Amino acid sequence: MRGCRYSLRIPNDGGFVKRNGFRCSKSNDAPQLLKVVVSGATEILRLLSSFNKNELYEMVPEQKYETSASSLDDIMMILKSDYDNAYFVTGNFTSGIYTDDCIFEDPTIRFRGKELYSRNLKLLVPFFEHPSISLQSINKVINSETESVMASWRLRTYLKLPWRPLILIDGITVYDLDNRFRIVKHVESWSVSPLEAIGQIFTPSSGRPV
Protein backbone atom coordinates (compact mmCIF):
# COMPACT_ATOMS: atom_id res chain seq x y z
CA MET A 1 0.00 0.00 0.00
CA ARG A 2 1.30 3.43 -0.76
CA GLY A 3 1.92 5.39 2.41
CA CYS A 4 3.51 2.43 4.24
CA ARG A 5 7.05 3.55 3.52
CA TYR A 6 8.36 3.83 7.04
CA SER A 7 10.07 0.46 7.37
CA LEU A 8 11.95 -2.18 5.44
CA ARG A 9 10.25 -4.44 2.90
CA ILE A 10 9.79 -8.05 3.92
CA PRO A 11 8.98 -10.83 1.42
CA ASN A 12 5.31 -10.72 0.51
CA ASP A 13 2.59 -13.10 1.59
CA GLY A 14 -0.62 -13.65 -0.34
CA GLY A 15 -0.45 -10.43 -2.33
CA PHE A 16 0.29 -8.24 0.68
CA VAL A 17 3.54 -6.95 2.12
CA LYS A 18 4.22 -7.18 5.85
CA ARG A 19 5.91 -4.18 7.43
CA ASN A 20 6.52 -3.96 11.18
CA GLY A 21 3.91 -6.68 11.60
CA PHE A 22 1.28 -4.81 9.58
CA ARG A 23 -0.08 -5.87 6.20
CA CYS A 24 -0.09 -3.34 3.38
CA SER A 25 -1.52 -3.86 -0.08
CA LYS A 26 1.13 -3.83 -2.80
CA SER A 27 -1.21 -1.85 -5.07
CA ASN A 28 -4.30 0.31 -4.88
CA ASP A 29 -6.49 -2.62 -5.94
CA ALA A 30 -7.93 -5.01 -3.38
CA PRO A 31 -8.85 -8.51 -4.65
CA GLN A 32 -12.08 -8.39 -6.63
CA LEU A 33 -13.91 -10.69 -4.20
CA LEU A 34 -13.09 -8.34 -1.32
CA LYS A 35 -14.36 -5.36 -3.31
CA VAL A 36 -17.65 -7.16 -3.87
CA VAL A 37 -17.95 -8.14 -0.18
CA VAL A 38 -17.11 -4.64 1.08
CA SER A 39 -19.46 -2.98 -1.42
CA GLY A 40 -22.24 -5.40 -0.54
CA ALA A 41 -21.76 -4.90 3.20
CA THR A 42 -21.82 -1.12 2.74
CA GLU A 43 -25.09 -1.27 0.82
CA ILE A 44 -26.65 -3.52 3.48
CA LEU A 45 -25.65 -1.07 6.22
CA ARG A 46 -26.99 1.83 4.17
CA LEU A 47 -30.28 0.00 3.70
CA LEU A 48 -30.58 -0.83 7.39
CA SER A 49 -29.77 2.75 8.34
CA SER A 50 -32.42 4.12 5.99
CA PHE A 51 -35.13 2.34 8.02
CA ASN A 52 -34.25 4.33 11.12
CA LYS A 53 -32.76 7.66 10.14
CA ASN A 54 -33.87 9.36 13.35
CA GLU A 55 -31.89 6.89 15.47
CA LEU A 56 -28.88 7.36 13.20
CA TYR A 57 -28.86 11.12 13.66
CA GLU A 58 -29.40 10.83 17.42
CA MET A 59 -26.39 8.54 17.75
CA VAL A 60 -24.17 10.58 15.43
CA PRO A 61 -25.00 14.25 16.01
CA GLU A 62 -23.92 16.69 13.34
CA GLN A 63 -20.74 18.44 14.48
CA LYS A 64 -18.33 20.64 12.58
CA TYR A 65 -14.65 20.75 13.43
CA GLU A 66 -13.11 23.30 11.09
CA THR A 67 -9.87 24.03 12.95
CA SER A 68 -6.96 24.73 10.60
CA ALA A 69 -3.25 24.05 11.17
CA SER A 70 -0.11 26.02 10.36
CA SER A 71 2.56 23.48 11.29
CA LEU A 72 3.25 19.78 11.61
CA ASP A 73 3.04 20.12 15.39
CA ASP A 74 -0.46 21.61 15.02
CA ILE A 75 -1.55 18.61 12.96
CA MET A 76 -0.21 16.19 15.57
CA MET A 77 -1.99 18.03 18.37
CA ILE A 78 -5.31 18.03 16.47
CA LEU A 79 -5.00 14.35 15.56
CA LYS A 80 -4.26 13.47 19.19
CA SER A 81 -7.44 15.31 20.15
CA ASP A 82 -9.42 13.44 17.47
CA TYR A 83 -8.13 10.12 18.84
CA ASP A 84 -9.04 11.26 22.36
CA ASN A 85 -12.54 11.78 20.95
CA ALA A 86 -12.36 8.28 19.37
CA TYR A 87 -13.15 9.79 15.98
CA PHE A 88 -13.32 6.49 14.11
CA VAL A 89 -16.02 5.08 16.39
CA THR A 90 -17.88 8.36 17.03
CA GLY A 91 -17.77 9.90 13.54
CA ASN A 92 -16.57 13.25 14.90
CA PHE A 93 -13.27 14.44 13.45
CA THR A 94 -11.57 17.74 12.60
CA SER A 95 -12.56 18.05 8.96
CA GLY A 96 -10.80 21.40 8.54
CA ILE A 97 -7.36 19.76 8.44
CA TYR A 98 -8.31 17.59 5.43
CA THR A 99 -8.53 18.73 1.81
CA ASP A 100 -11.94 18.34 0.20
CA ASP A 101 -10.57 15.70 -2.20
CA CYS A 102 -8.43 13.86 0.37
CA ILE A 103 -7.79 10.20 -0.51
CA PHE A 104 -8.89 7.63 2.08
CA GLU A 105 -7.51 4.12 1.80
CA ASP A 106 -7.36 0.89 3.77
CA PRO A 107 -6.56 -2.70 2.73
CA THR A 108 -10.10 -3.22 1.38
CA ILE A 109 -11.21 0.07 -0.18
CA ARG A 110 -9.99 3.37 -1.62
CA PHE A 111 -12.01 6.52 -2.32
CA ARG A 112 -11.71 10.30 -2.51
CA GLY A 113 -13.45 13.04 -0.53
CA LYS A 114 -13.73 13.99 3.14
CA GLU A 115 -17.52 14.36 2.91
CA LEU A 116 -17.82 10.76 1.72
CA TYR A 117 -15.52 9.68 4.55
CA SER A 118 -17.73 11.50 7.04
CA ARG A 119 -20.86 9.83 5.63
CA ASN A 120 -19.19 6.41 5.77
CA LEU A 121 -18.26 6.91 9.43
CA LYS A 122 -21.80 7.96 10.29
CA LEU A 123 -23.07 4.88 8.49
CA LEU A 124 -20.91 2.58 10.63
CA VAL A 125 -21.16 4.21 14.06
CA PRO A 126 -24.73 3.06 14.92
CA PHE A 127 -23.62 -0.56 14.46
CA PHE A 128 -20.80 -0.34 17.02
CA GLU A 129 -21.40 -1.72 20.51
CA HIS A 130 -19.01 -0.83 23.36
CA PRO A 131 -16.43 0.53 20.88
CA SER A 132 -12.99 1.84 21.70
CA ILE A 133 -10.01 3.03 19.71
CA SER A 134 -6.84 3.77 21.64
CA LEU A 135 -3.87 5.70 20.31
CA GLN A 136 -0.67 3.72 20.89
CA SER A 137 1.81 6.21 19.42
CA ILE A 138 1.99 9.16 17.05
CA ASN A 139 5.12 10.36 15.24
CA LYS A 140 6.34 12.69 12.53
CA VAL A 141 7.53 11.17 9.25
CA ILE A 142 9.63 13.50 7.12
CA ASN A 143 11.31 12.58 3.84
CA SER A 144 12.32 14.30 0.62
CA GLU A 145 8.85 13.90 -0.92
CA THR A 146 6.40 14.89 1.77
CA GLU A 147 5.72 15.43 5.46
CA SER A 148 3.46 12.96 7.20
CA VAL A 149 2.17 11.88 10.58
CA MET A 150 2.05 8.18 11.49
CA ALA A 151 -0.30 6.98 14.23
CA SER A 152 -0.60 3.45 15.59
CA TRP A 153 -3.86 2.46 17.23
CA ARG A 154 -5.95 -0.42 18.55
CA LEU A 155 -9.62 -0.87 17.64
CA ARG A 156 -12.01 -3.02 19.63
CA THR A 157 -15.77 -3.18 19.18
CA TYR A 158 -18.69 -5.53 18.99
CA LEU A 159 -21.10 -5.14 16.08
CA LYS A 160 -24.85 -4.96 16.57
CA LEU A 161 -25.57 -8.01 14.49
CA PRO A 162 -27.48 -11.12 15.63
CA TRP A 163 -24.25 -13.10 16.14
CA ARG A 164 -22.55 -10.10 17.85
CA PRO A 165 -19.11 -10.36 16.22
CA LEU A 166 -16.08 -8.93 17.98
CA ILE A 167 -13.73 -6.78 15.88
CA LEU A 168 -10.12 -6.61 17.09
CA ILE A 169 -7.59 -4.81 14.89
CA ASP A 170 -4.25 -3.16 15.54
CA GLY A 171 -3.50 -0.61 12.85
CA ILE A 172 -1.37 2.21 11.56
CA THR A 173 -2.63 5.31 9.78
CA VAL A 174 -0.31 7.52 7.75
CA TYR A 175 -1.52 11.08 7.16
CA ASP A 176 0.25 12.74 4.20
CA LEU A 177 0.30 16.55 4.20
CA ASP A 178 0.50 19.19 1.50
CA ASN A 179 2.54 22.40 1.77
CA ARG A 180 -0.37 24.11 3.56
CA PHE A 181 -0.36 21.48 6.31
CA ARG A 182 -3.61 19.88 5.21
CA ILE A 183 -4.07 16.13 5.00
CA VAL A 184 -4.23 14.97 1.38
CA LYS A 185 -4.05 11.23 2.06
CA HIS A 186 -5.25 9.05 4.96
CA VAL A 187 -3.88 5.50 4.55
CA GLU A 188 -4.51 2.63 6.96
CA SER A 189 -2.62 -0.66 7.31
CA TRP A 190 -3.72 -3.47 9.59
CA SER A 191 -2.15 -6.25 11.64
CA VAL A 192 -4.55 -8.71 9.99
CA SER A 193 -5.13 -9.45 6.32
CA PRO A 194 -8.24 -8.07 4.58
CA LEU A 195 -9.73 -11.57 4.48
CA GLU A 196 -9.12 -12.02 8.21
CA ALA A 197 -10.72 -8.62 8.90
CA ILE A 198 -13.80 -9.49 6.84
CA GLY A 199 -13.87 -12.91 8.52
CA GLN A 200 -14.20 -11.26 11.94
CA ILE A 201 -17.52 -9.73 10.84
CA PHE A 202 -18.98 -13.19 10.19
CA THR A 203 -17.54 -14.88 13.31
CA PRO A 204 -19.77 -15.12 16.44
CA SER A 205 -18.12 -13.53 19.46
CA SER A 206 -18.81 -16.50 21.77
CA GLY A 207 -15.58 -18.27 22.54
CA ARG A 208 -13.38 -15.50 21.18
CA PRO A 209 -10.84 -13.79 23.46
CA VAL A 210 -12.04 -10.45 24.84
Q: In this predicted model, what pLDDT tens digit does every residue of 137-155 receive, in sequence order?
A: 999 998 877 899 999 999 9
Gap between the Cα atoms of 196 and 104, Å rounded? 21
Q: Which of 190, 73, 78, 86 is nearest to 140 (CA)?
A: 73
Q: According to the model, what pLDDT value does residue 27 have?
A: 42
3-state secondary structure of 93: coil
Polymer length in residues for the chain: 210
User: In this predicted structure, what is the pLDDT of residue 68?
Assistant: 76
How far is the CA of 68 from the CAs of 25, 52, 107, 150, 166, in angstroms?
Answer: 31, 34, 29, 19, 36
Q: How far apart are CA 30 and CA 161, in angstroms?
A: 25
Q: Which residues of the chain register pLDDT less than 50? A: 1-17, 25-29, 53-63
Give the CA count within 13 Å in the CB-facing half-sphere of 146: 18
**Is 23 exposed, middle or buried (CB count within 10 Å of its CB: 0-12, 13-18, 19+)?**
buried
Closest CA to 137 of 122, 149, 148, 153: 153
91 and 85 Cβ atoms separated by less than 8 Å: no
Q: What is the pLDDT of residue 6?
A: 38
Q: What is the pLDDT of residue 148?
A: 97
| Rounded Cα gap, residues 131 and 125, in angstroms | 9
For the stretch 49-78, pLDDT in tens is: 555 544 444 444 444 555 778 999 999 999
From the list 54, 41, 39, 120, the residue with the least C-alpha distance to 87 is: 120
User: Which region holds residue 53: left if phi is over 0, alpha if psi is between -120 and 50, else beta?
Assistant: alpha
CA 77 to each of CA 125, 185, 200: distance values in angstroms, whole numbers, following the listed order: 24, 18, 32
In a 10 Å sphere around its CB, with 0-12 CB exposed, 13-18 middle and 19+ buried, how is residue 21 labelled?
exposed
